[in-house]
């Protein structure tokens, strides 16, 4: 099982209720450039100018957790995790 299949299986196990290839202004397989720096849930900084190809997203409502799956090189997928609420 490849990494992408494993991620999909893991997302299915977590009762993902929303996922897909389009999220708000993001469309699968289009390239995007960060215009305002941000830090994701894991503390990774995404600086202005960082570029990646959007692949898909998933959202878990009970965790208020949003993940973007992107690629920096068009072949390897990377997960950017975010959370819409402050940690307890």
- Separation of alpha carbons 9 and 68, rounded Å: 16
Token look-up 């960060």 returns 34
Q: Is residue 18 part of a domain?
A: yes
Q: What is the pLDDT of residue 52?
A: 95
Domain region containing 54:
3-83
Q: Is residue 88 part of a domain?
A: no
The token duo for 8 is 């999909």
Q: Is residue 51 part of a domain?
A: yes
pTM: 0.69
Q: Count how many domains the chain has.
A: 1
Task: Tell which wins on pLDDT, 83 or 9.
Answer: 83
Read off the pLDDT of residues 75-88 as tens digits, 9 standing for 90 and up.
899 999 998 776 54
Read off the pLDDT of residues 26-68 as tens digits, 9 standing for 90 and up.
899 999 999 999 999 999 999 999 999 999 999 887 777 899 9
Q: Which CATH number goes with the domain that contains 54?
A: 2.30.30.350
């Amino acid at each position: 099982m490849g990494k992408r299949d494993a991620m999909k299986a893991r997302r299915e196990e977590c009762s993902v209720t929303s996922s897909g290839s389009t999220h708000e202004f993001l469309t699968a397989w289009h390239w995007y450039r960060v215009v305002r720096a941000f830090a994701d849930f894991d503390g990774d900084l995404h600086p202005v100018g960082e570029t990646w190809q959007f692949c898909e997203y998933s959202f878990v409502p009970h965790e208020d957790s949003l993940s973007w799956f992107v690629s920096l090189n068009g072949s390897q997928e990377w997960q950017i995790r975010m959370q819409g609420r402050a940690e307890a």
